Amino acid sequence: MNTFTYSYPTKVYFGEKAAKNSLPAELKKVGKNVMLAYGGGSIKKNGVYDELMGILKAAGKNVTEFSGIMSNPTYNKVQQGAQLAKKNSVDFILAVGGGSVIDCCKVISAQAKISDDLWTFETEKHGSPSEFIPMGAVVTAFGTGAEMNNGAVITHEEKKIKGALWGAFYSFAILDPVYTMTMPLRQVISGSFDALSHCMETYMGTPRKTNLSDEINEACQRNIIRNLRATLNEPQDTAARSELIWAAAMAENGILKIGKITDFQAHMLEHQLGAYTNCNHGEGLAVIHPVLYRHMLPKAQAQFARLAVNVWGISPYGKSESRLAEEFINTLSDFIKEVGLPAKFSEMGIADDADYKAIADSTVLTAGCCKEFTKEELLEVLNECR
């Protein structure tokens, strides 16, 4: 295992009625002006909005609402939020939703405190913001684990880049599985696969020999697979939802990454696919992973074989490492079909004439991947996904 330092700033309040039990005390610690940020308005239909507004009003807060954060948040939306925060002297941001809302607010919290354009400041000047508006997150859609880190995936529409910006960590995150019960089943499935992908992308990094972080990771993967199946069998199973929301958080709270250089090549490729097509993130990953893994197979054989046995329960008896590795990819592909995820871009409605060369050429090549991909090979992967 590589040398590491581990420290984590986000306090987690987990379980039913977590907002009612914990949010009033947290609001006592922050200023009077609060921005309530959310997406398309589903929280007004499921009662979460009314509950949180009641808590905010009881705490005597002045509430500025920032709504309409889209599923692939844009840099323009970030700028709108930052301007609103400045105009209303916002002291605290309460982000309510899934990864898109939570990511968007991380960047708003930084942009509102600096005069520079944050994208230019971070990607061209290589600066790191040091001052932020404090934030709390209320998770209503699981999968990304975005509440557990300070990285944000933002689409810069003019530059055709869907990439990472760095903002603030959340002071606290509220994870109440009941809040996820109205998630559309499609979102449950794609979010769960995103969480599984985060685990696999971390597992496939270096070091490649068995280590404690990877053994914990294997348990998280088994948990996601088992509880996604349970949720599909009984969508209102609160126990299964509880496991999934915490597994998604575990995938991104740094514990699985301790001592690791992660892979995330599939994510980088899907991000650029999303920049050009605005596709569903989890579904894009489901299409890309098996194809990319077949290209990685010669270099990733040992890790794939361990996943076959330790995560998917494939019997190792009488089988070579190479056969186990192939069975892992086949079993992953079968699971993707089993849960109703797409196997081809065409099933996602992505046009056959999408600019795949531009997508491949603009994809970041990751240092932790066990195979050194070229842009040309990534184009082959994309064409095989069509």
On the question of pLDDT at 247 being above 90, the answer is yes
Region 172-187 average pLDDT: 95
pLDDT of residue 8: 86
On the question of pLDDT at 1 being above 90, the answer is no
Instruction: Summarize pLDDT for 40-51 with one digit per residue, the tens.
Output: 889 999 999 999
Instruction: Summarize pLDDT for 223-239 with one digit per residue, the tens.
Output: 999 999 999 999 999 99
Whole-angstrom distance, CA of residue 273 vs CA of residue 46: 32
Residues 6+ apart with CB under 8 A from 116: 125, 127
Residue 4: pLDDT band (50, 70, 90) is confident
pLDDT of residue 201: 98
What percent of the chain is modeled with pLDDT above 90?
A: 97
pLDDT of residue 5: 79
Residue 6: pLDDT band (50, 70, 90) is confident
* Mean of per-residue pLDDT scores for the chain: 96
On the question of pLDDT at 2 being above 90, the answer is no
pTM reported for the whole predicted model: 0.96
- Strands 62-66 and 11-14, how do they pair? unpaired
> Backbone dihedral region of 143: left (phi > 0), alpha (psi from -120 to 50 degrees) or beta?
left
Whole-angstrom distance, CA of residue 19 vs CA of residue 176: 8
Whole-angstrom distance, CA of residue 61 vs CA of residue 347: 46
pLDDT of residue 20: 96
Q: Let me know the angle formed at the C-alpha of 339 by 335 and 340, rounded to the nearest 5 degrees.
A: 115
Whole-angstrom distance, CA of residue 64 vs CA of residue 89: 10
Domains of the chain: 11-180 (3.40.50.1970), 185-385 (1.20.1090.10)
